[in-house]
Chains A and B, each alone.
Chain A
Amino acid sequence: MLKEYRGVSNITGPLMLIEGVEGAKYEELVEIILPDGSKRKGRVLEVERDKALVQVFEGTTGVDIDKTRVRFLGRGIEMYLSPDILGKVFTGLGTPRTENDKIIPEKRLDINGAPINPYARDYPTEFIQTGISAIDGLNTLVRGQKLPIFSGSGLPHNRIAAQIARQSTVLGEKEAFAVVFVAIGITFEEAEYFISDFRKTGAIERAVLILNLADDPAIERIATPRVGLTCAEYLAFEKDMHVLVILTDMTNYCEALKEVSAARKEVPGRRGYPGYLYTDLATIYERAGRIKGKKGSITLIPVLTMPEDDKTHPIPDLTGYITEGQIILSRSLYKKKVSPPIDVLPSLSRLKDKGIGKGKTREDHADLFNQLYAAYARGKEVQELSAILGEAALTEMDKLYSRFAEEFEARYVSQGEYENRSIENTLDLGWKLLSMFPREELKRVRDEYLDKYWTKFRREREEIEEEKGKVVAGGEYVMEREGV
């Protein structure tokens, strides 16, 4: 029989202090019974002699000191699991949202998980085709990677995340695939966008939804991503599925963490966030990956909105130090109607080198990537320069680079929300754009690939230009006639 305690002595923010407790454990799950009989959940943050400090997930509104009773459950927060979780909706604490979402559990797992032994990890090398050129061609995603989207408020990060979830495939394979969608403090509308998109494409059947919406308890958000990842680990490493996890929006998670830290009066690190934010985020992000000898994988796409679009803000900064690259969205590209507005230069996929090349994408991918990147970077530099000095200061070659940068944004980065480009298309598109340069400019590409690809696309370009040339010449001829 579990003991019930009445000794609540102190309530501050989301925390309550209970005295006269015996045998409470650190991280233990606590049930709080309010005077009106309703129940809430909490977690032990600290035990000291006969005192226990408890963080209440649903907030402390309505909790009193005299009548509230507390019961220590002797276990951590657990998620009930079975293969039936696919297609179901859960709250941020992992309880079913409606009657229909109840399952008969096969097992239950502590949501904190355990760290993967680095020796047990398998290196992610399988290319995932997302159908988005700026990702596939330049910031290639691989199975088991954690690749966040750094966005800002008002930018279309959710549409990109949904497009990735919709279009992701591994070339030449048909394998069990699942999506775990974790909403952390986002609005109903944003969540509904994903759900209706999943419903439209039928993905809902193989999706687990964990929803903590903007009006749900804020402190619950500390548990929400962990609930989602526990589902993902179960599906990936016990049920052999390839799982794509979308966490949106991690900024809300960090805010909740800050709130608890402030209530505990901890010494803050940068900008009021707790000093252990890095470690805490790592225990979430590092749960992505592959394990030797297991078929399944967890690919993680956390979405976060950078306060004031500032990449050096602690949330994106610490995230970038843990994740394997980042996709950064740019407000200025979005204003220029480039969509998806992926800012290619600061974006990065650290695992791309092992996921591209012969047998995975195509032999020329790495060199092509380097060249496109270098050319675009130089083009952007030239554009900046011409903004200061005027176009007259540019050399012919500079002008070519500037034109390249424009076309690159308009044709390569930009693409429709439902446009699914194959990797072949993406790579060829890159060559099409590069063919505007003379061969000597393409220093980053091996000769053999220049022979094979540049020559081909250069010829095509010349043919097209010749065609155009004829038309233009013809037009002038007509005008001359008219003039006469």
Chain B
Amino acid sequence: MEIRDDMEKKGRIVKVAGPLVVAENMTGSKMFDVVYVSEKRLMGEIIELKGDLASIQVYEETGGIGVGEPVYLTRKPLTVELGPGIIESIYDGIQRPLNIIYEKVGDFITRGVHLPALDREKKWEFEPLVQKGDIVAPGDYLGFVQETTLIKHYIMVPPGISGKVKDIRKGNFTVEEVVAVIETQHGDTEISMIQRWPVRTPRPYVEKLAPNTSLFTGQRVIDMFFPIAKGGTACVPGPFGSGKTVIQHQLAKWADAEVIVYIGCGERGNEMTDVLLEFPELVDPKSGEPLMKRTILIANTSNMPVAAREASVYTGVTIGEYFRDMGYSVAIMADSTSRWAEAMREISGRLEEMPGEEGYPAYLGARIASFYERAGLVKCLSGKNLSGQNDRIGALSIIGAVSPPGGDLSDPVVQATLRVVKVFWSLEDQLAYRRHFPAISWLNSYSLYIENISEYVKKNVATDYFDLQTEAMRILEEEAELEEIVRLVGIDALSSQDRLTLLAARMIREDFLHQNAFHEVDTYSSVEKQYKMINTIIYFYNKARDYLQLGADIKAIENMKVRDRIARMKYVPQSELNRIDDIKKEIDTEMSSLIEE
């Protein structure tokens, strides 16, 4: 938000309680208008109106603010700036650029700093895609800027404007300079590369479609067992130490989306630093470019003002929608939505609203649902047939971490989230204690997208992909039952067949599901590799079952040498995947030697 000198000075503060300020003489202002509080010009947003009193949630610390100080009105809702320069940025919850704040004011965030989100000086090379005289409608491409090596930043006709292109300019421009003039019914409109959009309003699209392609993440337990679709929603609840953040980081690194928005909402400062330092070093497996070239970070860490934390998820999702509208597949990681909910609870408490469950406001469920509903696979806003441009499809996927107290899934935030999301990755501390990472429970988690994406996977990966998954799941479920029996009567009481099931389950768990995020090869597993790995394990299981019937000894099978090679499949680099195919032959030879003996 820009700060201007001609802002209307109107209100007068009558109450200050933490991040909540109440001002009088505020008639005429609207809900969710942005205001500036006191001469320090702290940014805030109106969240309640009573007569001429307005309650304002202030995005900065309110220490030292007192009764009688002025409130300045902008009469505009909280908006974000969208345009070239946004990729690779790190913003706080209200889109202030943290890197520039660091350069301007130093190591600590001081109050009343107002800086534009996008660089006003930098020139971008604008390449037009339309010609004079073309008819354009909202969402149509006017041209593009090659923002980073990975992202072509399309400049689109803003919503609400359509007409004939009167002028279009090629060359180097700043974000505020005019690149096109459109002749509309209400006169000529000048278009620059910057757009502003209110964060609490979803950006428009033509229609939503049912998700039908996979968002591959390179994480075996996710892609194979509980996949998420492009345009889908997922949540990762778990107690502390179960690896929520590592999973979010892994997805931000390896998910095959084109743009990543990572929202650090009320979490640790060092985690954001980690991303900032690591992402420029990591290379996208598809393009070979640094991952940072497709990433935007929103960092409102736990010690930063709580009201800005409330805004941070909206800021992130709006930026995501903007890139979705260009036809990209965007993935948003929100870590953690519990901190967002807590920020709502704190503000609600200060407003003295009647609390719902655990002190959370009664509208918690509605807010969570409407946030996740901004995800989706959409037909982008684009004037079809008018200008001859093709219909674009964009996708926005949202993956939210939830941090329930004590890992208790009956927590209101978890429950409200589960009601709306389609994928549930349940993290268990018992698995984390055993250092089984990712600690996603294979018994409790689910994905409702398997139906949607099965066509796509069959066509692009393998026809029996989900058959193998079903078989592997059956083995794991059987293991859970057998373990009960083992606990009661010991392993010797089991039949050879059952012992083989236990062995296969152990192989699936240790040699397939277990994945080391810090190992240079294992951190990312392509979907072909995943398929080959599970295929080999199931092949081993089926062969062993046949040989058991032919009279092989289960103990001999348990001690087969080839098991070591199977265990090391995960460390086979992408370029040598045929080494995994060879294992089958080895299984055959070693199995047949079991019988001869």
A contacts, CB < 8 Å to B: 22-28, 45-50, 76, 110, 112-124, 144, 237, 266-270, 275-276, 278-279, 282-283, 285-287, 289, 291-292, 294, 311-312, 314, 317-318, 320-322, 324-326, 345-346, 348, 350-351, 353, 366, 370, 373-374, 377-378, 385, 388-389, 393, 395, 440, 443
A278 to B403, CA, bound (A): 12
A346 to B240, CA, bound (A): 10
B477-518 residues at the A interface, CB under 8 angstroms? 487, 490-492, 510, 518
Taking a contact as CB atoms under 8 Å apart, the answer to whether A373 and B435 are in contact is: yes
Taking a contact as CB atoms under 8 Å apart, the answer to whether A348 and B66 are in contact is: no
Taking a contact as CB atoms under 8 Å apart, the answer to whether A26 and B66 are in contact is: yes
Taking a contact as CB atoms under 8 Å apart, the answer to whether B108 and A117 are in contact is: yes
Given A49, A119, A279, which contacts B90 in the complex, CB threshold below 8 Å? Answer: A119
B291-305 residues at the A interface, CB under 8 angstroms? 299, 301-304
Given A26, A117, A324, A370, which contacts B107 in the complex, CB threshold below 8 Å? Answer: A117
Mind listing 22 A-B residue pairs with CB under 8 Å?
A26-B17, A28-B66, A49-B15, A76-B63, A110-B63, A113-B108, A114-B61, A117-B106, A117-B107, A118-B269, A118-B276, A267-B359, A269-B359, A270-B358, A275-B346, A279-B302, A285-B303, A346-B433, A366-B518, A373-B435, A378-B434, A393-B490
Given A24, A26, A377, which contacts B63 in the complex, CB threshold below 8 Å? Answer: A26
Q: B406: CB under 8 A from chain A?
A: yes
A351 contacts across to B, CB distance below 8 A: 270
A385 contacts across to B, CB distance below 8 A: 487
Given B15, B107, B240, B272, which contacts A317 in the complex, CB threshold below 8 Å? Answer: B240
Taking a contact as CB atoms under 8 Å apart, the answer to whether A118 and B107 are in contact is: no
Taking a contact as CB atoms under 8 Å apart, the answer to whether A47 and B67 are in contact is: yes
Taking a contact as CB atoms under 8 Å apart, the answer to whether A320 and B241 are in contact is: yes
Asked if A26 meets B16 with Cβ closer than 8 Å, knowing A118-B301, A119-B98, the reply is yes
- B contact face: mostly helix, strand, loop, or mixed: mixed
* A385 CB, min distance to chain B CBs, angstroms: 7
Q: B342: CB under 8 A from chain A?
A: yes
Residue among B18, B62, B110 with the most chain A CB within 10 A?
B18
* B30 CB, min distance to chain A CBs, angstroms: 24
Asked if A48 meets B14 with Cβ closer than 8 Å, knowing A26-B66, A114-B109, A346-B241, the reply is yes
Residue among A286, A317, A321 with the most chain B CB within 10 A?
A321
Taking a contact as CB atoms under 8 Å apart, the answer to whether A24 and B264 are in contact is: no
Taking a contact as CB atoms under 8 Å apart, the answer to whether B241 and A23 are in contact is: no
Taking a contact as CB atoms under 8 Å apart, the answer to whether A267 and B355 are in contact is: yes
B304 contacts across to A, CB distance below 8 A: 115
Taking a contact as CB atoms under 8 Å apart, the answer to whether B567 and A443 are in contact is: yes
Taking a contact as CB atoms under 8 Å apart, the answer to whether B16 and A275 are in contact is: no
Residue of B nearest to A325 (CB): B241
Other CB < 8 Å A-B pairs besides A116-B107, A346-B429, A350-B241, 4 of them?
Answer: A45-B17, A116-B108, A121-B269, A393-B490
Residue of B nearest to A392 (CB): B490
A22 contacts across to B, CB distance below 8 A: 68
Residue of B nearest to A46 (CB): B17
Taking a contact as CB atoms under 8 Å apart, the answer to whether B98 and A282 are in contact is: no
B406 contacts across to A, CB distance below 8 A: 311-312, 317
A286 contacts across to B, CB distance below 8 A: 268-269, 301-303
Asked if A345 meets B407 with Cβ closer than 8 Å, knowing A46-B16, A118-B272, A279-B302, the reply is no
Taking a contact as CB atoms under 8 Å apart, the answer to whether A317 and B405 are in contact is: yes
B368-421 residues at the A interface, CB under 8 angstroms? 403, 405-408
A12 to B510, CA, bound (A): 60
A444 to B164, CA, bound (A): 65
Q: B288: CB under 8 A from chain A?
A: no
Q: B64: CB under 8 A from chain A?
A: yes
Asked if A287 meets B67 with Cβ closer than 8 Å, knowing A47-B16, A377-B434, the reply is no
Taking a contact as CB atoms under 8 Å apart, the answer to whether B273 and A121 are in contact is: yes
A345 to B98, CA, bound (A): 38
A324 contacts across to B, CB distance below 8 A: 268, 270
Residue of B nearest to A322 (CB): B302
Asked if A123 meets B64 with Cβ closer than 8 Å, knowing A115-B108, A267-B355, A279-B346, the reply is no
B64-105 residues at the A interface, CB under 8 angstroms? 64-68, 90, 98-99, 101-102
A459 to B125, CA, bound (A): 67
Given B65, B270, B359, which contacts A123 in the complex, CB threshold below 8 Å? Answer: B270
Taking a contact as CB atoms under 8 Å apart, the answer to whether B107 and A48 are in contact is: no
Residue among B16, B66, B106, B434 with the most chain A CB within 10 A?
B66
Q: B277: CB under 8 A from chain A?
A: yes
Asked if A26 meets B65 with Cβ closer than 8 Å, knowing A113-B108, A279-B342, A287-B303, the reply is yes
Q: B349: CB under 8 A from chain A?
A: yes
Q: B274: CB under 8 A from chain A?
A: yes
Taking a contact as CB atoms under 8 Å apart, the answer to whether B301 and A27 are in contact is: no
Q: B529: CB under 8 A from chain A?
A: no
Given A25, A275, A291, which contacts B359 in the complex, CB threshold below 8 Å? Answer: A275
Taking a contact as CB atoms under 8 Å apart, the answer to whether A117 and B435 are in contact is: no
* B548 CB, min distance to chain A CBs, angstroms: 19
* B443 CB, min distance to chain A CBs, angstroms: 18
A233 to B335, CA, bound (A): 28
B564 contacts across to A, CB distance below 8 A: 440
Residue of B nearest to A25 (CB): B66
Taking a contact as CB atoms under 8 Å apart, the answer to whether B109 and A24 are in contact is: no
Taking a contact as CB atoms under 8 Å apart, the answer to whether A117 and B346 are in contact is: no
Taking a contact as CB atoms under 8 Å apart, the answer to whether B240 and A320 are in contact is: yes
Taking a contact as CB atoms under 8 Å apart, the answer to whether A275 and B518 are in contact is: no
Q: B345: CB under 8 A from chain A?
A: yes
Residue among B17, B67, B264, B567 with the most chain A CB within 10 A?
B67
B109 contacts across to A, CB distance below 8 A: 114-117
Residue of A nearest to B354 (CB): A267
Taking a contact as CB atoms under 8 Å apart, the answer to whether B241 and A294 are in contact is: no
B310-364 residues at the A interface, CB under 8 angstroms? 339, 342-343, 345-346, 349, 355, 358-359
A348 to B405, CA, bound (A): 18
B108-164 residues at the A interface, CB under 8 angstroms? 108-110
Residue of B nearest to A345 (CB): B433
* B327 CB, min distance to chain A CBs, angstroms: 31
Taking a contact as CB atoms under 8 Å apart, the answer to whether B15 and A268 are in contact is: no
* B250 CB, min distance to chain A CBs, angstroms: 13
